[in-house]
Structure 1
Amino acid sequence: MGLYERKGFATAKSVRSVLSGTCRMLARRDLLPSNPVRDVGRLEQGRRKPPRALTVDEALRFLALLDGSEYARRNELPDIMRFLLGTGARIGEALALKWEDVDLDANAVRIDWTVSRIRGAGLVREAVKTETSERTLRLPDWTVEMLRKRKRDAAPGDLVFPNTRGRLRDVGNTGKMLRKVRGDDFAWVKSHTARRTVATLLDDQGLTARAIADQLGHARPSMTQDVYMGRRIVGEARSPLDGMFGQASVPEDDGDAA
C-alpha cells in the first residue's frame, strides 16, 4: 500500500513537493542529471468517499472487539469509545474531561475543554475554541454506568481518561492505539467515526439539525435556526442516545484486564 492510500492525497502531495524541491536543487548543483520527480505524472485526487458511520450493530461489534482485546482494555479504549458513542464529543474534548465536569446523578456532562499540544509546553488542557463548542450534554444510562464503574475503580486523580501516569492523554497516540486494535473489518473506524455515528443516529431519530448541532458542538446550521431556536441542554429529560446501544453496557471485570 502506497503513501497515497495510507495517508491520503494531501500528505502525498506535500511529500511529492518536498522531494521535487530537493531533487531540483540537486540537479542545479549537477548532483543529479535531472529532476526525476518532474517526470512522474501528477497526483490525481480521486473522488472522496462519503463519511461513514457505524450502524448500531457495527458499533456493538466494535465495542465487543475492544472489550476482547487485552491491549485495548489496558489502554482504556473501550471506555473512551463508549463515551464518544454516548456523546458525539471530539476525542480531545473527551480526553480533557475532569470529574468536576461530570454529574452522574443528573446524567450530564459539561464540555468546556480540549487537549492540545503546544510547542514548548507539551500537552495542555485549554478552552474549546467557540461558544458553540461549549455545551452540556445528557448522558445515556449505559455511558453513566461505565463512568460510575470507572470512577469507583480508577486511581485517584481529577482526569476522567488520564494516561498511565495520571496525566493528559495525547490525542494522536490514542488514535494510534485504536488503529492497532481495530482489525480489518473496522480498518476505516477512527475516533471521529463516533461523531458521525451519533449525528447519523440522531438524524434517523428525527431530531432537528439544530438539536444535532447542539449535541456535536458545531457552528449554527443556519442563521434562521439560530435566531428562532434557543440553545439549551441537549435532551432535557433523557439523552436521545439512551436506547441506541442497549447492549453496550460495560462488561464485568474478569480480573485479567490489567
Structure 2
Amino acid sequence: MARAYIDRPDRMGPKPTTLLLDVADVVAGTGLRIGEVLALRWREDVRLEAVPPVLYVRGTVVEGHGVRKHGQPKPKTATSERGIEIPPFLVETLRRRKAESLGQHALVFETSSGAPVGPHQVRVQLWKVRDWASTQADQPNIDADVAMHALRRGVATVVSDEHDIVVAAKVLGNGQAAITEKHYAHQQLVVPDVRDTLQAFGRPQEPRPE
C-alpha cells in the first residue's frame, strides 16, 4: 500500500521517500521499537557483511511530551541492548539504502541536515498513506489505530509461535517474558501440535517380545 502511494499516477510535487517502507522493513525484520530503528548507525550498529548479518541496538531516538527530538546513547532499558541476526529481505533493504546514501550518512535514517529522523515523522507518513488509501477503491482501509507498534506485536506473535515466549522477549528487548506475553504476543486459539507427545503418554509403546 505504501508503495502504491509512492507510485500513484496523480502524485503532485516531489516523489515521497521510502522512509516509511524501509522503517517498516526494519521493524518487521527485527521487532525493534521505532525509536531504536531510527537510532541505528551504519558504522557502529550495522554488520551486513557478518555471517549471519546482524544489527546491534545501542540507543534510541526520543521526542515528545516537551522533550526535544534527540538521539539517546542507550536504549529504553538495560535489557534492550541486544544484537539481532537479520533475515535476507532486510539485508537487501539496508544494502539498497546504504548504496543510496553514498557513504555520506552516519545514521541509517536521518534528515538532510544529518539529524535523526523522529518517530513522529514516520507516523505522519503512515497517516498520509492511510488517508490516501481511504479514498481509493482498490486499496484496503487501514484502521486509525494501526501503527508501527502493530508490526512489533506481529513479530512477537510469530516468534513466540515458532519458538517460545522467552525467545520473543529477547528479540523485542523485554526484560520479562510475561511482559511480551501480556502486551505483544497474540495468543493463538489453536495450541501447538503436541499429538505425538500425547500419543506416547496415553499409549506408551510396550516392549517388543524377544
Q: So what's the TM-score if we normalise by structure 2?
A: 0.68
Deviations 1:99-142 (A, max 9, x none): 02000012100001000138898322111132211110011011
Given candidates 125, 134, 142, the residue that maps to 2:71 is: 125
- Match of residue 183 from structure 2: none
CA RMSD across the alignment: 2.2
- Match of residue 90 from structure 1: 33
Q: Is the 8 A contact 1:84 1:194 kept in 2?
A: yes
Question: What are structure 1's unaligned runs of at least 5 residues?
Answer: 1-64, 223-258
- Match of residue 128 from structure 2: 180
- Match of residue 152 from structure 2: 195
Given candidates 136, 139, 150, the residue that maps to 2:97 is: 150
Given candidates 188, 212, 216, the residue that maps to 2:168 is: 212
- Match of residue 56 from structure 2: 110
Deviation, structure 1 residue 194: 1.0
Count of aligned positions: 157
**Distance change in 2, residues 1:160/1:192 (3 Å):** same
Q: Is the 8 A contact 1:132 1:220 kept in 2?
A: no
* Cα distance in 1 for residues equivalent to 2:15 and 2:34: 16
Deviation, structure 1 residue 201: 1.3
Q: Which amino acid aligns with 1:152?
A: A
Deviation, structure 1 residue 72: 8.3
Q: How does 1:1-258 map to 2 (within 5 A)?
A: 65-70=1-6, 73-74=16-17, 76-100=19-43, 101-106=45-50, 107-117=53-63, 122-126=68-72, 127-155=74-102, 156-182=104-130, 183-184=133-134, 185-187=141-143, 188-205=145-162, 207-221=163-177
Q: Is the 8 A contact 1:86 1:140 kept in 2?
A: yes
* Cα distance in 2 for residues equivalent to 1:142 and 1:84: 12
Instruction: Report the identity percentage.
Output: 33
Q: Which has the higher contact order (CA 8 A, sep 6+)?
A: 1
The farther-off stretch of 152-161 and 176-185 is 176-185
Q: So what's the TM-score if we normalise by structure 1?
A: 0.56
**Distance change in 2, residues 1:91/1:114 (3 Å):** same
Which contiguous aligned blocks of 4+ residues in structure 1 show a shift greater than 3 angstroms?
118-121
Q: Is the 8 A contact 1:72 1:177 kept in 2?
A: no
